Each structure stands twice: as C-alpha cells, then as structure tokens.
A and B are shown apart, each in its own frame.
Chain A
Amino acid sequence: MTAKRRGAQLGMLAFAVLIVMGAYAGVGLGINGKIPSGMLGYGLGLGGLMLAAYLVLAKWAPWADPLLLPLVTLVNGLGLVMIYRIEQAGQPGASATSQLMWTALGVVMFSATLIVLKDHRTLQRLTYTAGFVGVVLLAIPALLPGSLSEVQGAKIWIRIGGFSIQPGEFAKLALVVFFAGYLVAKRDVLALAGRRLLFIDLPRARDLGPVLITWGFAIATLVLEKDLGTSLLLFGAFIAMLYIATQRTSWVLIGILLFVGGAFLAGQVFSHVEARFNVWLHAEDPALYDAGGGSYQLMQGMFAMGSGGILGTGLGQGYPKLIPLSFSDFIFTATGEELGLTGLMAILMIYALIVERGLRTSLAARDPFTKLLAGGLSFILAWQVFIIVGGVTRLIPLTGLVTPFMSAGGSALLANWMLIALLVRMSDAARRPPPQAIQDEGLTQVMQR
C-alpha cells in the first residue's frame, strides 16, 4: 500500500524554498555584495504561498504524489530568481514583482482546481466542450486585428488595456482534455487495421478524418498566427496520445509525414519558416548574425552558455542583458551563463522528474481516460521543454515557446499550475487505496476492533 508521505513532502517543499532563497541571496551578493533587502518579503511570500498550496493538497488530495509540488516550487522559484536577476541587470520588461504576483495567482488556480475538481473523470463528460473551448481560444488571436493580438511577429496574444493573455497556453490544456476524451471513445475504431504495407499496419482511410482535421488546425495555427511553436506542440501531443490510445506506430509515422510536409509547404510560401531553418543551420554565419531577424539572439544565448562553461559565472555576475528576451524565451541560456552546465543539468533533471512523476501516475491509473489524460499532460510538458530548450540550444530550429514555470509570463504560469493540479488530482486517485471489498454477504460480518 502506498503511503501518503506528507512529512517528506513538507520537508522537500521547505528545502525547495530554501534553495530559492539561497539563490536570491546569491544574486544580491553577486551584484553588489549585499543580501537583497526584499529577501525576507520574497521568502515569506513564496514560503507562505507554497505552504497554502501544501495545505490545500493535504486536505483535498491527501494521496497525491509527494514530489510534484516541491519540484514545481523549485523550478518556479529559480525562474523567479532569474527574472529578479535580469531585472537588476536593467533589461526592460523583466519584473520579478509581477512574476511573483502571477505565481501567487498560479497557486490560487492550482488550489481552485483541486478544490473544485473532486473527480477528474468529470472532465470526460466535457470532452466536446473542452474541444470547442480549445479551438476557440486558439483561434481568437488569429481572428483579432493585429493591433490586439500581434507581438513581435507572433499573433498569439489577446491584449486588452494593460493586460495581455496568451490563450494558446490554456488551449493546450483544453485540447489535451479533448484528445483524451475523444481518443478513449474512438480508440477501438482507430486501432482497426487496414492494409499492411511493409511492416506497418496502415489504418483505414475513412479513419483518417480526425487526424486530418487536427492537422488542419495545426497548419492553420502555423500560417495564420505565425506560431510554429504552438502548432508543433499541439500536433506532437495529439500524435503521442493517438499512439498511446491505439498502440499503432503507423499513426506516428503518418502524423510526422503530414506535419513535416505541411511545414515544408508552409516554408515555401511563408518566408519566416524557412528563415528559422536558415538561422538554425547557419547561426554562426556573420551575414545572418547581422541581419534583422537573423541569428543574433540565438548566438547571444550560445555565447552566454559558452561563457558560463561548467560552473557558470555565479548568480549576478553574468551579462543577461546582452541576450534579447533573456527573461522569457531565452531564460534557459541566461541561467546557463550564471549557473553553468551544472545548473542547466539540474534544471533539466527537475523537469525530467516532474514528467516522470506524471507518467508514473499514468501507468498507475486504473481507467483509460486517466491514463491518457495523465500521459498526455506529462508528454506535452516534456515536449514543450524539448522544443524551447532544444531551440535555444540549437538542437532543433528555434520556435518561440515559454519555458514552463521559468519564463516570465502570466498565462503560461496559470495554465501550467493548472496542469500540475490535474496531475496531482489524478495521482491522488491513482495512489488512493481501493475501497475495501465488501465481504461475502452470506457470512456474518466480523467486528473489527
């Protein structure tokens, strides 16, 4: 029988907050030799928030995985410290206060999700609602005029007054819920084999419909919103979930072929996709480096990581201001300069552990919907880290995405805290001991002391 391990969870949570506070002090010491004056406030703020999250979790999901909350706290806290550090360096746009506020709202969303959603299987009933919400959220920026939706070439925002929301982050959640519900219902049909080609069982042509529709949305996102990142993220998650549900490798191949083909065609028509590839392949080329929209930012990130080397310069002692958007898309590289390879490996390890806890929940779950939802959410988190970190480290072409929990940005923080709440809710269900079987009615019940 699984134990609740609540003491361990609280201990690790305290440890995570302690590491973040240490890093926060390190920034102040690195910059001007003093412990930052706001440290106590920030420390109490973060500690209080996480204590609240813990109490909610202990009451409403007592059997939940004890590692998820401390891990997320750690990576969220380190992101907060990096944004504080970049703000100190004077990069416009970086604001630790606003990030802390969004973290607080994220924890509120986390708690609200846990409290409201007593049983995640309610979501299965909302499959098509979720699908509709997801598509609408995704489509809004494309339909809005550019003045309300476009920032630096990507049409992925809703900007009202001083606020801006990235609906795609929430669409991500809704669509994974939709995929899970839909695929659980249709997986038997989709798994039916059609013709066999070489070693692969091809699906029947008539079952291609849903795949083609999703593909169409992905390509539309790419074309209309110039957002290769979200497009790749959602389509990849869909294919992975399709594979989990149907156990058919052919779907994966068909999906990859469709997407690569679509992206290739889009690349022929729209210059920005091809430009991304060029920048990726020839980033060090001086001509591309100097060109507007060229490889300058990518190379600045590489320079930062190279200069950080194995141990990094130490917090507060690098030059994050040199990297454009070092507090959002490129926060990973700014971290690499100051914490070095060592710090980056630690952060990747934290992400890997979160994903591992999610997948474990999925494996332990008792019903297919939970399995698929937990698997899909875990995969999309891993996939997102892979796309953005791979992009800024030149492993794959760069597509703008948020580094989960680290990058500055309210929508992403809220959505990702909700994602964690869903995983926590499902792990609680998976780890909760099954109800005691009622003993055979024919026998006298034995009193238990």
Chain B
Amino acid sequence: MNSTLKRVSVACLLMFGLLMANVTYIGTVKADGLRTDSRNVRGFYARYAIDRGWITADNGKTTLAKTVDSGDKTFRFEREYPLGKPFTHVVGWFAPESASGIEAAMNRYLDGSHPDLVVRRAIDMVSGKPAKGASVDLTLNTKAQEIAYKDLAGTGKRGAVVALEPKTGKILAMVSVPSYDPNPLAQVNKAKVNAAYNKLDKDDNKPLLNRAIDLTFAPGSTFKTVTSAAYLSDDTSRDENTQVDAPDSLPLPDTNISLPNYHGESCGGRATLVQALTISCNTPFAIMGMDVGYDKLKEQAEKFGVGQPLEIPLGVAASNIGPDEGKAALAKTAIGQQSNQMTPLQMAMVAAGIANQGTVMKPYLVNKIMGPDGAEIDGTDPDELDEAVTPEVAGELTKMMIGVIEHGTGGAAKLPGITVAGKTGTAETLPGKPSHAWFISFAPVEDPKVAVAVFVESGSAGNDATGGAVAAPIAHDVMQAVLGQ
C-alpha cells in the first residue's frame, strides 16, 4: 500500500500547493483591486481612522477645517468647517468617497501619506498612536475673504473675487458666489452626503463651480490693459500721452458693421492713451489691437499667464483670447469680446503683474505645511511666472489706470489717502442678455500690497450693471480689508 499512500501524499501536497498559490494570488495580484473595490467599505472607514491635519489661514491663527475626535470606534475622526460658506470653494470638503478643493489637492499631506511624512508616520505606527496628518496653512486673508463674500452674496449677486499679493503671488482672497455649506458633505453618512451633493449639482446657479478658476468669461474692457501693454511694448517711443485715433464709430474691415463706443458716447476723434482708458473708449483700443496684430496680442496675453497651466494647487481652467479670425474679430478681441475668455484669477494676475513692475508672480494658496508636532515641514517660495512688460511700460499702464480711478469709470474704488489704479469692464454676453461686470485694481500704487479682480455674472446685479457701479465697490472693500491691517 505504500506506493499508493505516497501518491495520495503527493495529492495532499498538491492540494496545499493549490491553496497556497491561490492565497498568494489573492494577497498580491488581486489585493489592490479588492482593496479599492467600491463595495469594500474598509477604504471608507480608513478615511475616518486618520487624525487628519487642519487647514488654517492667517499664519495658523484662523481655523478653516478641523478634525474632531468623535470617540466612535468606526468613524473616529470627523471633519468640520467652522467658517463655512465663504471658504468652501478654496478649502473644499472631505466626503466619504471624494474630496474637493485643498482637501483633495493637499490630501497626501493632510492624511499623512506623503513621502515627506513617512518617518513621523512610522513613529506613530510603532507607538500605536492613530496616524496624524500634517496641517496646511493657506495664504488667505480671512478678513478680505469674508468681506468679499459678504459684498457679493449679500446682494444676491453671482460672481467671483480674487485678491493677490502682487510681489509674491499669494492669493489673499478667492471667493465664488453662490457658495454652500461644506459641512453636510463631510458627514460620515454616504446616503445623506449623496443627497446633499445631488441637490447642489442640480441647482441651476451651479454653486459647486468655483467661478474664480473653473470658468472663463469675456473680460470686456478690463482686457484693454493687456491691449495697451502690447501697444506700448510694440514701440518704446510710445507712452501714456501718445495720441491715438478715437472715432465715435469704427467700421470693421471686411464687414458692414461698425463698432461703437459704450452707449454711443463720443471720445472726440483723437485722445491720449490715458484719456482713452479713463473713459474706456472702445474704438482706440480696437485700432491698437489691429495695429499690433493677433500674434503680438496673443503673446502679450500669454506673458500675463493666459494659456499657461496653473496649479495653485487647485487646477485652473485655461484662459484664452480665442482663435485668429481676421481683423474684425481682432478688433473685438482687443476690447475683451469675441472669443476672448478669461478666468477672474487671470484678470487678477494682469492687475498684479502691472502692479509688480511688469513681473507676474505665480499665484499660490499654500503658505506652509506644518507637521503634526507643529514644526514647519515645507513653505512655498514665491516664484516668477513671466515678465509681462518692462517696468517702464508697467509705469505707463499704472498712470493710465490711476486715471480710471481719479477721473473715470472706477471712482467707486477710491481709497482715502491711498493711490489706487484700476480698470472697469462691462462685457457683453449674448445679444439681449445683460452684461458681465468686471473690475480690476491694485493699491497702493507706490508700494503695491494687493491686486484685485472682481467679476459679477450677467444678470445677477440688474440689467444695467456696469463694472464701475457694481464691481468697483467690492474691490474697494477688499483692498481696504487688506490694507487696513
């Protein structure tokens, strides 16, 4: 019987071999798929087993997102957003199956899985403490952020405000309205979160979108600053006092239509650049645009950051002056119409670039990252994006923009005792629809501390909304909030 016993032994060996091979297959090849299967709730549980790092602003003094130890065994650490709506689009939320904003973009620091944190994590593991993530401090100025939100949302407007520190690129404020309370999306109940999310998703006003960076809009007359920059740079003999043609109506080449000035106003046939920008004539800038040509205008826009991929670290929609569609189209592109589409962040970068003597700094939201023990792990160093114009041209543009505040359409942004430079914009949208209202500005001119872009969406501020009437007062309050400290 020994020969058959030996064969049976081999059969037993084979059975164990098969079991071991199969277990190995599951534990290695299949493991990742099984671990991340949406029906495997362990990933969901694991999200709440980590003492997630906080999100702060004002150098750590203001808490925007915090982790609360609920004491519950399965869902121990829950997320709360004490300041709510004004910060939702930047801070984002940490939901059972997804995340947005900084919560998503900085997740690997916040949950401690980033390679920079590996040593601290190993120490926690050995000492048996729950894993603790790093905290992220944002560049936001909470006073400016809250006033911007209050000004926009308080009157039922939709739109966005972006404030930058021109010399560094720090984002001091980034507001999108309408906003929403992030706390319902951070519950540990999947069904409730899905219901809350679906309601927001179906809302016609699209509150989930961050209008400052997710969408692009026609910039209208605020884009005349870019056209002027291209025109001044094209010939160094030009300055703010150079005389340009300013007809009441400009027949567009190869078409039978004419471009008028806003509300058919007259600019007197000839004007200096300062005068043209101050009262925001359309025709001289259309002529300047056609004069420099599509390529140079596009190149100038790109130097301000248009079309450059940005991660702040949130993703930013690409701005674009539109395709080359001939002279008539170029005339409209030069005054911020046609296919010219800019994010509010991009227009803030234009203002900040002019303020910073022509150098555009890369915008960023993360001020520094602090380990669980409070020590700084990493800080963001300001970085140049591009030199948009020479300091001379920047100075000339600044003088033109001071004119807009002192004598022109941007009077509502005047600050007592401080020189402000700015530009209004009232961008036509679809025929028969109300315009978008824009305003970009910076102050103080001598030592710029803040550059702002305010965008108020079509129809949300009445049918006759203009940048000067609707957007400039908001920029005024935001600049005051930043400078008042």
Contacts and interface: CB of A to CB of B under 8 A. Distances in A.
- Which of under 10, 10 to 19, 20 to 34, or 35 or more describes the interface residues of B? 35 or more
Q: Which 9 A-B pairs have the closest CB atoms?
A: A306-B34, A341-B27, A303-B40, A386-B15, A382-B12, A352-B16, A395-B22, A306-B31, A244-B4
B12 A309 contact: no
A245 interface: yes
Contacts of B12: 352, 355-356, 359, 378-379, 382
A345 interface: yes
28 contacts: A244-B4, A247-B3, A302-B26, A302-B30, A303-B34, A303-B37, A303-B40, A306-B31, A306-B34, A307-B40, A309-B27, A309-B31, A319-B42, A319-B45, A336-B26, A341-B23, A341-B24, A348-B16, A348-B23, A363-B9, A371-B1, A371-B5, A379-B8, A382-B16, A385-B16, A390-B18, A390-B19, A393-B22
A385 B15 CA distance: 9
Q: Interface on chain A toward B: helix, strand, loop, or mixed SS? A: helix
B6 interface: yes
Given A303-B42, A307-B42, A344-B23, A244 B8 contact: yes
B33 interface: yes
B1 A348 contact: no
A394 B34 CA distance: 13
Contacts of A352: 12-13, 16
A318 B33 CA distance: 18
B150 to A, nearest CB: 45
B371 to A, nearest CB: 23
A359 B35 contact: no
Contacts of A402: none
A362 B35 contact: no
Interface of B: 1-9, 11-13, 15-16, 18-20, 22-24, 26-28, 30-35, 37, 39-42, 45, 128
* Most chain B CB inside 10 Å of its own CB: which residue of A351, A372, A389: A389
A395 B18 contact: yes
Given A309-B31, A375-B8, A382-B16, A247 B23 contact: no
B16 A351 contact: yes
Nearest to A314: B125
A355 B12 CA distance: 8
A340 to B, nearest CB: 7
Interface string A326-356: 0000000000100011001100100110011
A347 B20 CA distance: 10
Nearest to A302: B34
A107 to B, nearest CB: 26
A322 interface: yes
A259 interface: no
B30 A243 contact: no
Contact of A307 (B4, B7, B20, B34): B34
B27 A340 contact: yes
A29 B32 CA distance: 27
Nearest to B23: A344
A375 B23 contact: no
A310 interface: yes
A336 B34 CA distance: 13
A386 B19 contact: yes
Interface in A358-408: 359, 362-363, 368, 371-372, 375, 378-379, 382-383, 385-386, 389-390, 393-395
B6 A363 contact: yes
A306 B36 CA distance: 9
B4 A247 contact: yes
A109 to B, nearest CB: 25
Contacts of A386: 15-16, 18-19
B55 to A, nearest CB: 28
Contacts of B42: 303, 307, 318-319, 322
A240 interface: yes
A16 B13 CA distance: 24
B391 to A, nearest CB: 59
Nearest to A381: B12
Contacts of A306: 26-27, 30-35, 37, 40
A33 interface: yes
A82 interface: no
A171 interface: no
B41 to A, nearest CB: 7
